[in-house]
Amino acid sequence: VVSDPEEQPLKLRNATELYVCNLPRTYDTQQLLNIFTPHGTVLSTQVCRNVETGQSKGSAYVKMGSYNA
């Protein structure tokens, strides 16, 4: 992790991470991409899961390529 924003690639400096909740527990990365791609570049997604069961907790993190997305 680079702590100085000037040292981060421009792509990451302009990125913003969203916390999305109240998702259906059946949603996976593909459903998140289907929802967020029309609004901009999706850099990554991470579905929050129960460590023991692997079941979705109904929330996720979505990193978008731009704050304006």
Question: What pTM, to 2 d.p., does this model score?
Answer: 0.77
| pLDDT at res. 40 | 94
Q: Which of 59, 53, 68 is nearest to 15 (CA)?
A: 68
- What gap in Å lies between CA 59 and CA 22, rounded to an integer? 6
DSSP code for 6: G
Report pLDDT digits (tens) over 2-37: 455 555 555 556 789 999 999 999 999 999 999 999
Q: Biggest alpha carbon distance in the chain?
A: 40
Three-state DSSP state, 14: coil
Domains of the chain: 14-64 (3.30.70.330)
Contact 45, 27 (CB under 8 A): no
| pLDDT at res. 68 | 76
